[in-house]
């Protein structure tokens, strides 16, 4: 009985967080799907999104949800720059090259970020109260974050399936050379996809900053979670990432009711390796 009440208490939080994790993973898996690149600079960009919220809300006093718009634009532009500087030259090289190139970007951002912000924790003191739900109190910040996450997913879906650039992205995902033959400007589309991926990372960071303290290194943990989610939902399947995020959120809600919290990463990463081995296309079965 005690376990049940504990479960009911931690479950809503886990599920709501799961949506936000899903957005971060969506960015990673979009980039992977379009250009077969695992973006190891994902974590620091999530951190930059967190700092975006911090500066917009604490320094400028703008509502953090309104602040998502400049953060998103910044994320998009940053991604396009990273693409042209680091990724474009190695896009056809073996995986090691693109992994190391994006990791170099990771080191550059973390180095500059550490010099600028140090590694001491920052906190965005933003509270909107909560409402009680049976055994537990659900915070409004988390509910709004989850709603925004769902809205972002919906917008991404509409963009990919209803607009011309979105259709180009899907064409390049399917077969880049064929898309080029059909007149799709592949370089611009690849840069745009990379930008969209980093934009999603920055948005998720900005949302996470409204509930947890953070520093420049915090993004790394969410990057690892994004890998797990990406594999759960199927690498290269952006919408699957939202389900993957939900599954991870559920696990984070359920496990602490039965085991010590420190077992959560053991189970997460164990599951990650097992799924990679058994169903590398994800449990939802994406392409590839």
CB of 173 to another protein, least distance (A): 16
Binding test (CB under 8 A) with another protein, winner from 182, 280, 285, 287: 280
Q: Does 9 bind another protein (CB under 8 A)?
A: no
CA dist 38 and 93 (Å) reads 13
In this complex, which beta carbon is closest to another protein, that of residue 39 or of residue 141? 39
Q: Does 112 bind another protein (CB under 8 A)?
A: yes
Question: Measuring CA to CA, how many Å separate 226 from each of 13, 30, 55, 120, 177?
Answer: 18, 12, 25, 24, 29
Q: Does 89 bind another protein (CB under 8 A)?
A: yes
Q: Map the footprint of another protein across residues 33-72, applying CB under 8 A.
A: 36, 38
**Which residue has 């064409």 as its token pair?**
171
**Size of residue set near another protein by CB under 8 A:** 44
Binding test (CB under 8 A) with another protein, winner from 6, 9, 58, 90: 90
Q: Does 231 bind another protein (CB under 8 A)?
A: yes
Q: Does 177 bind another protein (CB under 8 A)?
A: no
- What mask, x for binding another protein by CB under 8 A, covers residues 13 to 32? -------------------x
Binding test (CB under 8 A) with another protein, winner from 114, 127, 137, 188: 114
Q: Does 193 bind another protein (CB under 8 A)?
A: no
CA dist 29 and 226 (Å) reads 8
Q: Does 96 bind another protein (CB under 8 A)?
A: yes
Q: Does 284 bind another protein (CB under 8 A)?
A: no
Q: Does 283 bind another protein (CB under 8 A)?
A: no
- Selected range binding another protein among 53-61, 73-81, 169-177, 262-270, rule: CB under 8 A: 262-270
Q: Does 134 bind another protein (CB under 8 A)?
A: no
Instruction: Give the footprint of another protein on this chain (CB under 8 A).
Output: 32, 36, 38, 85-86, 89-90, 93-97, 99-101, 103-108, 110-112, 114-115, 224, 227-228, 231, 260, 262-266, 268-270, 272-273, 276-277, 280
């Amino acid at each position: 009985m005690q376990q049940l009440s504990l479960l009911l208490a931690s479950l809503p939080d886990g599920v709501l967080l799961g949506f936000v994790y899903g957005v971060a993973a969506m960015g990673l898996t979009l980039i992977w799907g379009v250009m077969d690149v695992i973006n190891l600079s994902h974590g620091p960009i999530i951190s930059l999104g967190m700092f975006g919220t911090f500066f917009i809300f604490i320094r400028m006093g703008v509502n953090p949800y309104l602040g998502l718009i400049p953060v998103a634009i910044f994320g998009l532009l940053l991604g396009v720059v990273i693409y042209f500087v680091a990724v474009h030259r190695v896009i056809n090289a073996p995986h090691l090259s693109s992994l190391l190139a994006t990791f170099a970007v990771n080191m550059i951002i973390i180095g500059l970020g550490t010099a600028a912000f140090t590694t001491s924790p920052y906190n965005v003191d933003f509270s909107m109260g909560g409402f009680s739900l049976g055994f537990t109190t659900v915070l409004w910040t988390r509910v709004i974050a989850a709603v925004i996450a769902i809205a972002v997913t919906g917008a991404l879906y509409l963009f990919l399936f209803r607009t011309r650039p979105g259709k180009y992205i899907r064409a390049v995902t399917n077969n880049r050379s064929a898309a080029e033959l059909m007149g799709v400007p592949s370089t611009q589309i690849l840069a745009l996809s990379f930008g969209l991926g980093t934009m999603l990372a920055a948005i998720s960071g900005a949302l996470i900053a409204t509930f947890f303290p953070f520093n420049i290194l915090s993004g790394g943990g969410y990057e690892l979670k994004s890998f797990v989610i990406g594999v759960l939902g199927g690498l290269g399947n952006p919408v699957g990432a939202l389900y993957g995020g939900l599954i991870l959120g559920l696990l984070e809600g359920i496990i602490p009711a039965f085991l010590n919290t420190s077992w959560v990463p053991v189970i997460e990463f164990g599951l990650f390796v097992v799924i990679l081995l058994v169903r590398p296309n994800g449990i939802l079965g994406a392409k590839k």
